[in-house]
Structure 1
Amino acid sequence: MSNTIEYKGYIGSVEFSEEDGVFFGKVMGIRAMVSYEGENAHDLVEDFHSAVDSYLETCAAEGIEPEKAYKGSFNVRISPELHKQAAITAAARQMSLNSFVESSIAQAVRTGN
């Protein structure tokens, strides 16, 4: 079971409000607020697709480039000591700090740690 859905490269969250008896979510990884809801899974997916399509249509009509989620660049804030240790470790492995961080994240994602 997954708590995300995907359409046209956009990832959406899936949540449930017991109080309202409705599934809902929002597109993740972009600044624009694109939300959707449905009384059941089928309706939620349909409204998600409609919300993404509407977002893309609005961007096209306004002549703006739609945001792409998870474009491969992000800022991370860590302690100065961890930054120093990561840079030293990367240098010892003859890697850039960026390559070291990328491989470390990939390993953590693969192992679930």
Structure 2
Amino acid sequence: MSTMNTMELDGYTAVIQYNPETDAFRGEVQGINGGADFYGKTPEELRREFRASLDFFLQTCAKHGIAPRKAASGKFMVRLPQALHEQAATVAAAHGISLNALVERALRHEVQSA
């Protein structure tokens, strides 16, 4: 079983997973045009490797003229069970807002609570 967490560096966020079988952490930088991951046995080692991996990634992007960040479109499709969809539409209507606004409100709440 792995546990998830995040680590931030220079405005970039990495998802961190711990693997008890190898007794090591793995980080993967999110929202970028490419891949950047790093490994460490301790939080200190993980931070050092995050810095090295991010620096290498940013240097590579600069060398090839690639924007480091991947822009989110602001659109995504959500698949829900039919009953939940109907309940959500009813709640949205009762609040006088669109289903999209209800989903945005719920996501904002979850992201801020994380």
Given the two structures, how large is their TM-score scaled by the length of structure 1?
A: 0.69
1:85 deviation in Å? Answer: 3.2
Structure 2 unmatched ranges of 5 or more = none
Choose between structure 1 and 2 for higher RCO, CA contacts under 8 A separated by at least 6 residues. Answer: 1
Cα separation, partners in 2 of 1:14 and 1:111, compared to 1, 3 Å: closer
Corresponding position of 2:65: 63
Which structure 1 residue ranges, 4+ long, deviate > 6 Å from structure 2? none
1:4 deviation in Å? Answer: 1.9
Letter in 1 for 2:54: V
SS in 2 for 1:32: coil
Counterpart of 1:34 (choices 22, 36, 52) is 36
1:88 deviation in Å? Answer: 3.2
Letter in 2 for 1:35: D
1:47 deviation in Å? Answer: 0.8
Cα separation, partners in 2 of 1:47 and 1:73, compared to 1, 3 Å: farther
Counterparts of 2:102 and 2:31, CA distance in 1: 23
Structure 1 unmatched ranges of 5 or more = none
Counterparts of 2:59 and 2:91, CA distance in 1: 47
Counterparts of 2:71 and 2:12, CA distance in 1: 6
Letter in 1 for 2:38: Y
| Identity between Structure 1 and Structure 2 (%) | 38
1:28 deviation in Å? Answer: 3.3
